[in-house]
Amino acid sequence: MTPTQEQEIWMYQHMVISRFFEESIEKIYMEGKTPAFNMAKGPIPGEMHLSNGQEPCAVGVCAHLNKDDIVVSTHRPHHVAIAKGVDLMRMTAEIFGKKTGLSGGRGGHMHIFDANVNFSCSGIIGESVGVAAGAALSRKMQGKPGVAVAYLGEGAANQGAFHEALNLASVWKLPVVFVIEDNAWGISVSKQASTAVKHNSDRAAAYSMPGIHISDNDPIQIFEKAGEAINRARNGEGPTLIEIETSRLAGHFMGDAEAYRPAGEKEHLVEIDPIPAFKRRLQKLYQWTEQRDESLRKQARETVEAAIKYARDSDYPAPEEALEKVFV
Amino acid sequence: MTPTQEQEIWMYQHMVISRFFEESIEKIYMEGKTPAFNMAKGPIPGEMHLSNGQEPCAVGVCAHLNKDDIVVSTHRPHHVAIAKGVDLMRMTAEIFGKKTGLSGGRGGHMHIFDANVNFSCSGIIGESVGVAAGAALSRKMQGKPGVAVAYLGEGAANQGAFHEALNLASVWKLPVVFVIEDNAWGISVSKQASTAVKHNSDRAAAYSMPGIHISDNDPIQIFEKAGEAINRARNGEGPTLIEIETSRLAGHFMGDAEAYRPAGEKEHLVEIDPIPAFKRRLQKLYQWTEQRDESLRKQARETVEAAIKYARDSDYPAPEEALEKVFV
Amino acid sequence: MTQVKAKERKLTIARAMAESIAMEMREDETVFLMGEDIGELGGVFGNTRGLYKEFGPDRVKDTPISETAFIGAAVGAASDGMKPVVELMFVDFFGVCFDAIYNMMAKNTYFSGGEVNVPMVLMTSTGGGYSDGGQHSQCLHATFAHLPGMKVVAPSNAYDAKGMMTAAIRDPNPVIFMFHKALQGMGWLGTEKEAIVDVPEQTFEVPLGVAAVTREGTDVTIVGITSGVHHGLKAARELEQEGVSAEVLDLRSLVPLDREAVLKSVKKTGRLIVVDEDYHSYGMTAEIIATVAEAGIPMKAPPQRVAYPDIPIPFTPPMEQWALPSVEKIIQAFEKMKEAEV
Amino acid sequence: MTQVKAKERKLTIARAMAESIAMEMREDETVFLMGEDIGELGGVFGNTRGLYKEFGPDRVKDTPISETAFIGAAVGAASDGMKPVVELMFVDFFGVCFDAIYNMMAKNTYFSGGEVNVPMVLMTSTGGGYSDGGQHSQCLHATFAHLPGMKVVAPSNAYDAKGMMTAAIRDPNPVIFMFHKALQGMGWLGTEKEAIVDVPEQTFEVPLGVAAVTREGTDVTIVGITSGVHHGLKAARELEQEGVSAEVLDLRSLVPLDREAVLKSVKKTGRLIVVDEDYHSYGMTAEIIATVAEAGIPMKAPPQRVAYPDIPIPFTPPMEQWALPSVEKIIQAFEKMKEAEV
Ligand SMILES: Cc1ncc(C[n+]2csc(CCOP(=O)(O)OP(=O)(O)O)c2C)c(N)n1
Ligand SMILES: Cc1ncc(C[n+]2csc(CCOP(=O)(O)OP(=O)(O)O)c2C)c(N)n1
Ligand SMILES: [Mg+2]
Ligand SMILES: [Mg+2]
């Protein structure tokens, strides 16, 4: 299963949008937080987990999904949300805590819900897997089309929820795909120091499901393997576990000094940044000119800037609205 | 690693004691509970999980352990407690809720603690594994001898705690052995209906530890495999997962109508009852005469009866003692 | 009332719950069940009996012993148009799966600004008194009621059980439905006979969040939930012998809490006893007493609580029975109030 | 006091905690640490900084993201002669591992009749105010304090933090040690300056279960814990401007709860405001008010609570700041009481 040129450009485009988005958020996040870094300050307060480097995991999988399919992501959700087609205006407004945000500012960056495209995420490690299994069960029971994809980090694969949900999904043969974004770190703790197995994909055998290991942070490989897994799910052949070795280019969250990184790691990751690499691929295969590239980037920048302008221009909700939407 | 004659007889003896014990408890449990079964009534109120049929799992493992080693068992703990050398008088008194019980009646049958022989158990599925890993860590840190053994049911192997503790034990290379008593049922739900893998021992690969499957409810095989695992732990070579296919001869708990069992299953299990089988082995190998057998059984019966008499004769604690021992 | 004798049909809470679930399942294809031993076995506490036979394994799903997974899955299914009714066999087991309950089930509606609803019911057994030990006998009312985003209800009789279960399934919000084992009508757990009452065959709802005046009175208000209501009613009858008129209020719901009903009764009686089988401190009894104190209602005597002491629940009957709320303790509490007035 | 100026050494709570742990680790080989990112990183909230360097990876153990496993392991190690100090990074994460905490850590002493002790400390961060959203900003005081078998303490300043941590590590019982992020002295979380106080270099204990009168007064008692104490102190200073003398009580410990200290103060003042950043209903504020109501202390006005509303914690600053307890809300509560007296 290889992507068409159109799909490749779609993937590139969404990686670029995502990267622009994160770079913009990164800058705006620091507004008001200098000289003394204080999380509570500025237009984007609170924790901020950027996804720079992990874009291939988002686009390679979501290229196969449509609006009806379900995606449940993590505390590091922006790239996946963008690839899944979440309303970028309302998502940005949510991150800014504005009234026009997806939840009117109640959720924030770790709680992005867009019911229109069946996207959600959550802040506690390992929460995605059970929810995705349940959504897959719902589709199976209702006989409605759609598969579910759960994203999780490699750190989350040591959380009990992972074990329980994968077993359940396999026993009930649910149309769900579990995608581990292995960025080698859970905050400051390395995968090696925390995980008894080299590849979490090997754990799939414990649930009698296929386990796919992707050692390259390469959208094409991800596209191929994820496509097969999603097809299996669509055909009623049950769940798959995929682990992708990806890169966390930023700190765990904004403000992370990253002293725990071995010397040279960061530089190496920048060298193998998947976005320039994918651009080179397009250039090689599809006469991807600098002009086309600039035009795609310009569009991407405009998309992001429009979303940020929307967020900035929107009003804050009234404080008392905090009391609404606890129950419906 | 094969058992000596002495060890074989020790195993047989403790299986017999355990079986007598359960049979006695079974009878006494029903006192006061007829004609209308009411759990609150009689000298032994509350839930009662008997271990008939699972004795080989207890003796085959515990034959390798001494007082210093740690065992953490489950809601179905009697056979293991007996094999580990728990004070039978005080354990029985505990089950009767007497002042002379191990905790003075506070714990009951699912909460047997005997600090003298490092035995404990608990009523929530999957609790044993973390505690055993921690005790193993303690020994490793203190440089004190002793390994830890966690028992759990095959149903518990689908609980998140299992996954987390096995990963932790492997990453930290702890001297601990995880023993799954696979009696094919979690209350009324079969292993097959609940477990994505045929043998839980295959899940050991997910933690890079050896996984041993024992398909016979045979003390000798268990002795051999457990001995190797315990030696590995004693030698600092890390944890092992063992799964034993055993038999639950009784209901899940007393009062279980067992309508969910397929026809003929119970009869088959009685046919392959490990205790008569082991007696035949002794007869074949060690001139085990009816006379020796009768004398061992008599002793066993006396041991159990003495414990029951002790429990019956003991006083109940004063109600207000309920307020003590919350803190020390 | 004097004409044809209305057909009486007494049900246990277990049967009333099962009946309500069955009726909703017949009407609404999106209603389904998950839990441990709820299939062929019909639930350890009988409240799913018959459902497997009628609806089959696709809609009545036995689960692995994986509470985090299947409650998490219920959240996912509920957010996708289904209405799961899930069972946590004993409330005491919440510790292995509370994240799925309190951080997702309860909060996703809010986090999504009301755009994603989580219409599910989590039913779970509570209570002790039959020597099941400290991990199988708790009530944990306040543990659930303290945390925002979930309704928390608990019936004291079969009529309410049916009507509240129906209301819970139809509610677009997540509902914790607690049933007390001793009221369940399962002989082997002992049976509070007064929980077995006449239940209409047709479907009906008892609104969630409305307390019931189970017995009217003027001298003292006894507030309780589940087992506490029955202790209260029995105490009220004893007090009547002594010429004391006790009003008994069945909260039925901890969230939403019907504070008005409490205040109204206490305004009338000027005396308050709160009964709860959950732990004493930081619990329901304190919430009720604080509600009355904040309202500044003039009291004839300081309010009293009869709750479970702050100890793990002991196994042995002498200790456990002594620690439980009881009619005697309620009478004593009343006497203490009278003394305080002297 | 006029002689040589005593050497002042102001510490943050983070540093005071780390110092206490280090001193205990030096004295007692059985003390060790487990948690996420407590090693080289020194803890997300700084309270383990320096320990990895001094004691190395064998005694300062970074764990996988497996709270059930490592807290369960702490129970096993504590029962076997060790004294684990473990960190649950945010108290909000308790839902994935509460069984190990409340059903084993807290109850094993009782279940064993006191023969197996579980001398461990579980330290965990609480509190919001910096827009970390509804799964990273809670206090959950009552969630822990409601359940028997564990001590629950929470300092409001660095002196108490050091002394209480030392007492907690030495305590033969399990202790939950809650530290509020905004008091931690980490600049990036904002910093309550008054939590940074002089702390002796030598080792000392602050006994667990004893409240502190942080400020004496005669007109109203303000009861709080952690952030609530600081709101109370600031409100007291404002009230002083208006000629009102407020007494501020720092509970410091929820279990054991120093009810006597509360009663003593309220007997004197006849007015009570309870401040808590934990949720309003079924919480600490109700427990304190009920304690006073039960005691029948004559009050000049109904007691008031200033607590977090019963809503998931919203992310956006306008909503979150509005929902938090504050000096203004305390002043308003006082004014409401004065009106009620008129
Ligand atoms: C149950 C739980 N434990 C701990 C945390 C704190 N935490 C947030 S992100 C994180 C690291 C997660 O690592 P991983 O799953 O690899 O995802 P990544 O951050 O690398 O994307 C941790 C420990 C949490 N949110 N939930
Ligand atoms: C977390 C949890 N969930 C459910 C239960 C109820 N329960 C008690 S025993 C049991 C079955 C356990 O099966 P298994 O682990 O195979 O042990 P067995 O009873 O067969 O010895 C269940 C579901 C429990 N005690 N704890
Ligand atoms: Mg990671
Ligand atoms: Mg079993």
pLDDT digits (tens, 9 = 90+) for D163-214: 999 999 999 999 999 999 999 999 888 889 999 999 999 999 999 999 999 9
pLDDT at A34: 85
Q: Which residues of C are catalytic?
A: 67, 136
What are the C-alpha distances in Å from B188 to residues C49, C88, C311? Answer: 14, 16, 32
Do you find a cis peptide bond into B219, omega within 30 degrees of 0?
A: no
3-class SS at C224? strand
pLDDT at D256 over 60: yes
C281 → chain D, closest CA residue:
D146
Tell me if D36 CB under 6 Å of ligand 1: yes
3-class SS at A269? helix
Kind plus residue range of the DSSP H or E element containing C226: none
Closest CA to D96 of C142, C94, C151, C174: C94
Q: How confident is the model at residue D333 (pLDDT cuts 50, 70, 90)?
A: very high
pLDDT at D45: 96
Residue pair C145/C97 in contact by the 8 Å Cβ criterion:
no
Q: How confident is the model at residue C191 (pLDDT cuts 50, 70, 90)?
A: confident
Chain B CB contacts of A207 below 8 Å: 196-197
Strand partners, C153: C177, C253
| Average pLDDT of span D239-263 | 98
Q: Which amino acid is at B49?
A: H
Mean of pLDDT over chain D? 96
Tell me if B75 CB under 6 Å of ligand 2: yes
Both tokens of A47, joined, read 């924790």
Burial D223-246 (b: 16+ CB within 10 A, else e): bbbbbbbbbbbbbbeebeeeebeb
Q: Which residue stretches of chain A have pLDDT < 50?
A: none
Query: How many beta-carbon contacts under 8 Å exist across A and B?
Result: 66
Tell me if B154 CB under 6 Å of ligand 2: yes
What are the C-alpha distances in Å from B220 to residues B53, B56, B76, D36? Answer: 15, 8, 22, 42
Place of tokens 């002394």: D163
Contact D76 B124 (CB under 8 A): no
Q: Whose Cα sits closest to atom 12 in ligand 1?
A: A186
Domain boundaries defined on chain A: 5-312
3-class SS at B64? coil
Tell how strand A189-190 and strand A185-186 pair up.
antiparallel
Q: How far is CA B174 from the centre of its chain?
A: 22
C58 → chain A, closest CA residue:
A141
pLDDT digits (tens, 9 = 90+) for B97-152: 999 999 999 999 999 999 999 999 999 999 999 999 999 999 999 999 999 999 99
pLDDT digits (tens, 9 = 90+) for B157-209: 999 999 999 999 999 999 999 999 999 999 999 999 999 999 999 999 999 99
What is the whole-number distance in angstroms between the Cα of residue A153 and the centre of ligand 1? 7
Strand partners, D124: D88, D178
pLDDT at B262 over 70: yes
Full DSSP string of D221-265: EEEE-THHHHHHHHHHHHHHHTT--EEEEE--EEETT-HHHHHHH
User: What's the CATH code, domain A5-312?
Assistant: 3.40.50.970
Neighbours of A1 (CB within 10 A): 11
- Distance from the C150 Cα atom to the nearest Cα atom in chain B, whole angstroms: 24
The Cα C144–Cα C75 span in angstroms is: 17
Sheet holding B240-245, edge to edge: B119-121, B70-73, B148-153, B176-182, B240-245, B211-214
pLDDT at D6: 59
The Cα B301–Cα D141 span in angstroms is: 52
Mean of pLDDT over chain C? 96
pLDDT at D3 over 60: no
Mutate to test the interface with B, among D59, D71, D115 (most CBs of B within 10 A): D115
The Cα C188–Cα C67 span in angstroms is: 26
pLDDT at A35: 87
D297 → chain C, closest CA residue:
C302
CB under 8 Å to D162, separation ≥6 — which residues? D11, D16, D17, D19, D20, D199, D200, D204, D206
Full DSSP string of B189-247: EEHHHH-SSS-GGGGGGGGTS-EEEE-S--HHHHHHHHHHHHHHHHTT---EEEEEE--
Residue pair A15/A55 in contact by the 8 Å Cβ criterion:
yes
Q: How far is CA B107 from the centre of its chain?
A: 17
pLDDT digits (tens, 9 = 90+) for C274-312: 999 999 999 999 999 999 999 999 999 999 999 999 999
| Nearest atom in ligand 2 to B125's CA | 26
* Burial of C103 per CB tally in 10 Å (0-12, 13-18, 19+): buried
pLDDT at D2: 46
pLDDT at D5: 53
Neighbours of B298 (CB within 10 A): 10
- Distance from the B213 Cα atom to the nearest Cα atom in chain C, whole angstroms: 21
* Range list of H helices, chain A: 5-30, 55-62, 78-84, 88-95, 127-142, 160-171, 191-194, 219-234, 265-271, 274-286, 290-313
pLDDT at B34: 85
ipTM for the predicted complex comes to 0.98
Q: Which residues of D are catalytic?
A: 67, 136
The Cα D193–Cα A215 span in angstroms is: 49
What are the C-alpha distances in Å from C208 to residues A62, B170, C30, C175, C253? Answer: 42, 49, 21, 9, 6
Q: How confident is the model at residue D342 (pLDDT cuts 50, 70, 90)?
A: confident
pLDDT digits (tens, 9 = 90+) for B277-308: 999 999 999 999 999 999 999 999 999 999 99
CA angle A29, A35, A38 (to 5 degrees): 55
Contact A159 B162 (CB under 8 A): no
pLDDT at D1: 40
What are the C-alpha distances in Å from A301 to residues A18, A89, A219, C229, D165? Answer: 10, 13, 21, 65, 52
What are the C-alpha distances in Å from A37 to residues A41, A75, C18, D189, D190? Answer: 8, 21, 57, 9, 9
Complete domains list, chain C, with CATH = 10-198 (3.40.50.970), 212-341 (3.40.50.920)
- Taking the CA atoms of chain B, what radius of gyration do you get in angstroms? 19
Tell me if A80 CB under 6 Å of ligand 1: no
3-class SS at A307? helix
Partner D contacted by B53 (CB < 8 A): no
pLDDT digits (tens, 9 = 90+) for C126-163: 999 999 999 999 999 999 999 999 999 999 999 999 99
pLDDT digits (tens, 9 = 90+) for D39-51: 999 999 999 999 9
Mutate to test the interface with D, among A122, A194, A254 (most CBs of D within 10 A): A194
Residue pair D89/D125 in contact by the 8 Å Cβ criterion:
yes
Q: How confident is the model at residue C2 (pLDDT cuts 50, 70, 90)?
A: very low
Place of tokens 């959240």: C75
Task: Using CB atoms, list chains with 3+ pairs below 8 Å to chain B.
Answer: A, C, D
- Taking the CA atoms of chain C, what radius of gyration do you get in angstroms? 20
Closest CA to A211 of A167, A234, A179: A179
The Cα D24–Cα C89 span in angstroms is: 43
Assign 3-class secondary structure to A187-253.
Answer: CCEEHHHHCCCCCHHHHHHHHCCCEEEECCCCHHHHHHHHHHHHHHHHCCCCCEEEEEECCCCCCCC
pLDDT digits (tens, 9 = 90+) for C195-239: 999 999 999 999 999 999 999 999 999 999 999 999 999 999 999
